């Protein structure tokens, strides 16, 4: 019986040492939205024409904070913070359509759109990862970010950006492995 136990233990230990990365955790962070890719969001956003697109047309495109998840409705005070984050930027520096909108205060508001899909996948040696010596993570996906400024029921300004292709590699080394964080545990007792 001890021979069988040794064989099974050796097999398990050998598997861990070979770095079977399928045993490592994977995470997917998806911000729900009507768009399945950066290109989808960008394509719908490009259909918006400042000075022409109405709020009902925005709803048809999926830009509706009351129906579409992760579309935020912001007031004119929030818009001021977006456009004038510090004293080095003045109202005169803003586009004329934004200035005119902000001067009417309550009739000026905005939509902030931030859909994203981010995958986080650990890879490398399982034993080193589990024992907290070395953790390797690949982060991939996309993030779209857009701002729409509306005056009453009409879009007066739009701005988009984001990351069409997110690809990052994170490497965390802990020379002491599981003992690395013991100082934090002892400090709080």
pLDDT in tens, 137-186: 888 999 999 999 999 999 999 999 999 999 999 888 877 777 766 665 55
Alpha helix ranges (H) inside 19-92: 38-46, 55-61, 76-83
Give me the residue label for tokens 């803003």.
94
* Confidence label for 136 from pLDDT (cuts 50, 70 and 90): confident
CA of residue 143 relative to chain centroid, distance = 6
Residue 188's pLDDT is 56
Residue 137's pLDDT is 86
pLDDT at 82 over 80: yes
Which CA distances in Å does 179 have to 47, 120, 123, 130, 147? 55, 25, 22, 13, 46
- Residue 136's CB is within 10 A of a number of other CB atoms, namely 18
The answer to whether the CB of 153 falls within 8 A of the CB of 137 is: no
Question: 56: number of CA atoms within 13 Å, CB side?
Answer: 0
Query: Which residues make beta-bridge pairs with 168?
Result: 139
User: What is the pTM assigned to this prediction?
Assistant: 0.74
Q: Is the dihedral of CA 177, 181, 186, 189 positive or negative?
A: negative
Residue 75's pLDDT is 96
pLDDT in tens, 31-53: 677 889 999 999 999 999 999 99
Residue 74's pLDDT is 96
**In whole angstroms, what is the distance from residue 71 CA to residue 113 CA?**
5
């Amino acid at each position: 019986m001890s021979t069988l136990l040794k064989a099974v233990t050796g097999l398990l230990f050998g598997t861990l040492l070979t770095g079977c990365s399928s045993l490592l955790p994977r995470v997917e962070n998806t911000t729900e939205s009507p768009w399945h890719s950066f290109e989808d969001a960008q394509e719908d956003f490009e259909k918006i024409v400042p000075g022409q697109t109405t709020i009902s047309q925005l709803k048809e495109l999926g830009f509706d904070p009351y129906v579409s998840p992760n579309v935020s409705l912001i007031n004119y005070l929030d818009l001021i913070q977006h456009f004038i984050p510090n004293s080095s930027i003045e109202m005169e520096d803003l586009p004329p359509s934004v200035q005119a909108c902000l001067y009417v205060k309550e009739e000026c508001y905005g939509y902030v759109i931030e859909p994203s899909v981010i995958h986080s996948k650990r890879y490398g040696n399982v034993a080193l990862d589990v024992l907290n010596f070395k953790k390797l993570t690949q982060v991939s996906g996309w993030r779209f970010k857009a701002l729409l400024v509306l005056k009453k029921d009409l879009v007066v300004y739009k701005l988009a950006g984001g990351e069409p292709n997110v690809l990052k590699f994170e490497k965390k080394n802990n020379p002491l492995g599981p003992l690395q964080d013991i100082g934090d545990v002892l400090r709080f007792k």
